[in-house]
Chain A
Amino acid sequence: MTTPISSAPQARRLSWNNPGVRAIFYQVIALCAVGAAVWFLVHNTLYNLSVRNIASGFDFLSREAGFAIGESLIEYGPADNYARALTVGLVNTLRCAVIGIVCATILGTIIGIARLSKNWLIQKLASVYVEVMRNIPLLLQLFFWYAIISETTPGPRQALNPLPGVFLSNRGFKTPWVTGEGLSWLFGGFVCAIVVVILLARWARKRQEATGQIFPLWRVATALLLVLPAAVWLVSGTSLSLDMPVLKGFNFAGGLTLSPEFAALIIGLVVYTSAFIAEVVRSGIQSVSHGQWEAAGALGLKNSLALRLIVLPQALRVMIPPMTSQYLNITKNSSLAVAIGYPDIVSVVNTTLNQTGQAIEGIMIIMAAYLSVSISISIFMNWYNKRIALVER
């Protein structure tokens, strides 16, 4: 005798056996636990703050800062308020991050390709570089570079002078910089050259599609980028002068300055991160299966064309996610500046914190700053990653 299936017991709506009920129950417990913990912490904090007579809120931002900042790209003096000081710190951090990312990518790519070179010596040197730089802490490397730059370089009066106008002393690295009205013409010429190269590339591609002839774009573009700005400047007839650093008293005036702290931070960050980026580049290129090289060769493509059209596009897709995390690492590692005295945002907030005692607001500012930079980089890279993803079933 068979039992009809419809008489099997159903889980009642509000019973433990209903997985939906269980899920809600667990979540309520989790949220309550987190909520209770947060309430506990906040309660203690408010109490402790009032006991120690520490203010809260962000009003301190409009108060006068009262401390100087070693270097900044925007105008700042001790009479400016905290908000401005924090902005200077943020700008310094971004300056570090951007220059670091660009230089580390270039250096890392070169070393990554060197590790794949057929030249035994180059390959071994690149491997040694990568292994040494990856396995020594960044902080130690920063201390090392800072010690070298500040201890072994002489004072301004005995500064090293390797090239005319270039001085290396314990006050930093100074080079001549171009100034004058001619500068804007030069810059304009450069922008023109870029526009011309883009238009030329378009035209060359159309011509190839129409007739099959290939245009030597790289050579022409390089020539244009070098010649056109110079030509435009010459035609404009304006002046262009070199601002040479000149020893005045105890320091140099004029020219472009790289402080020892900034130099040490950039050199340390770039050298350290380039080792990791080299590994990302190497494994990206190696991840493209050998069959792709063979198929390209079987079609008659030269090695350079095969690399450009077949291997690199595929390698790039593999490289993007780990490259993203390296870029995020450079941004976060720039916070080590506080250990060698470069005024990045952590360092400025630290000083602010010590002066006002408002630790929580300070930490929140630091975390907000880094979070927004990290999340923007992540969002951009994720979007780019999706755009170039391989299409599969």
Chain B
Amino acid sequence: MAHAIMRMKDVNKWFGKFHVLRNINLDVASGERIVICGPSGSGKSTLIRCINRLEEHQSGQIVVEGTEITNDLRHVEAIRREVGMVFQHFNLFPHLTVLENLTLGPIWVLKLPRAEAEKRAMQYLERVRIPDQAGKFPGQLSGGQQQRVAIARSLCMDPKIMLFDEPTSALDPEMVKEVLDVMVGLANESGMTMLVVTHEMGFARKVADRVIFMDQGEIIEQNTPDAFFDTPENDRTKLFLSQILH
């Protein structure tokens, strides 16, 4: 592969005796959009959480932007500056305003002056279409608005890779679209590398370069969206698709 922004080689992880990631081999090119799907317990969240060291892999290699993820704290900090994450339950900081949530990382990690950090924050708030909520607290926003703030918060760090861990699973149905629209906009307008764990197959069709199906810790099948949805090859893939596309 020409320029792999992230490479996973023979990655294995155990939770105690439970083998949650089995021999994962994955190369992600810069600017690629990847959707990861699979039944619950298949290890898809664990896989992307290993990329920013929220989980530790026990064997194998993960290399992000040329830096290998090891126990070395400096490597981990360097990687976390380049990799942004959006969580299923938003994880916004409830005691800070929306603006303060966004400027926290730039001020304390990127060491930007406050004025510059706030300018950047307002730009991204406009990008996710809620600039008027800057002075509010997360508890005052709807679920969809909170998730959009969370996306803006990660974008403020100017990451090269964005990880999305089931971003719409905790939202009420009418708010899922507004978040997906933001993510589609992100995919189309910026050259951002995105790894998205989701069940939203419409999003996958629209935006993904590759769809990966995982089951029981292994990558079972990966293909372009059309090939994946229209002509799945593996039986387990077919079973999964029949269950979610009804």
B113 touches A209 (CB 8 A): yes
Considering the complex, give the chain A residue whose CB is closest to the CB of B94.
A390
Considering the complex, give the chain B residue whose CB is closest to the CB of A305.
B108
B140 touches A392 (CB 8 A): yes
Q: Report 25 cross-chain contacts, Cβ distance below 8 Å, ordered by A residue.
A: A209-B113, A212-B116, A291-B87, A291-B91, A294-B54, A294-B91, A295-B87, A297-B52, A297-B54, A297-B80, A298-B54, A298-B87, A299-B80, A299-B104, A299-B153, A301-B105, A301-B108, A302-B77, A309-B108, A314-B94, A314-B95, A388-B95, A390-B139, A391-B140, A392-B140
Cβ contact of B52, chosen from A209, A212, A298, A317, cutoff 8 A: A298
Question: A292 an interface residue at 8 Å Cβ cutoff?
Answer: yes
Chain B count of residues within 8 A CB distance of the other chain: 35
B113 touches A210 (CB 8 A): yes
Q: How far is the CA of A226 from the CA of B112 in the complex (A)?
A: 32
B149 to chain A, nearest CB (A): 12
Q: How far is the CA of A209 from the CA of B103 in the complex (A)?
A: 11
B107 touches A212 (CB 8 A): yes
A391 touches B114 (CB 8 A): no
User: Contacts A298-B154, A299-B104, A393-B139 known; A292 to B113 CB distance under 8 Å?
Assistant: no
Q: How far is the CA of A300 from the CA of B74 in the complex (A)?
A: 11
Q: Name the B residues within 8 Å of A317 (CB-CB).
A: 95
B95 touches A213 (CB 8 A): no
Question: B21 an interface residue at 8 Å Cβ cutoff?
Answer: no
Q: Shortest 9 CB-CB distances between A and B: which pairs?
A: A392-B139, A295-B91, A209-B114, A299-B105, A291-B91, A391-B137, A298-B85, A300-B80, A212-B111
Question: B229 an interface residue at 8 Å Cβ cutoff?
Answer: no
Cβ contact of B91, chosen from A213, A292, A313, A391, cutoff 8 A: A292
A228 to chain B, nearest CB (A): 29
Q: Name the A residues within 8 Å of B89 (CB-CB).
A: 291
Considering the complex, give the chain B residue whose CB is closest to the CB of A311.
B93
Q: Mark A320-352, 1 if CB is under 8 A from B, else 0.
A: 000000000000000000000000000000000
Cβ contact of A298, chosen from B84, B95, B136, B139, cutoff 8 A: B84
User: Contacts A299-B104, A391-B137 known; A212 to B91 CB distance under 8 Å?
Assistant: no
- Chain B residues proximal to chain A, CB less than 8 Å: 52-54, 77, 80-81, 83-85, 87, 89, 91-95, 104-105, 107-116, 136-137, 139-140, 153-154, 157
Considering the complex, give the chain A residue whose CB is closest to the CB of B106.
A212
Question: A310 an interface residue at 8 Å Cβ cutoff?
Answer: yes
B79 to chain A, nearest CB (A): 9
Considering the complex, give the chain B residue whose CB is closest to the CB of A214.
B111
B87 touches A294 (CB 8 A): yes
Extra pairs beyond A292-B93, A298-B52, A391-B139 (15, CB < 8 Å):
A208-B107, A210-B115, A212-B107, A212-B110, A212-B114, A292-B91, A295-B85, A295-B92, A297-B80, A299-B104, A299-B157, A301-B104, A301-B105, A301-B108, A313-B95
B137 touches A392 (CB 8 A): yes
Kindly identify, within residues 379 to 393 of chain A, every residue whose CB is under 8 Å from any CB belonging to chain B.
388, 390-393
Q: How far is the CA of A231 from the CA of B87 in the complex (A)?
A: 53
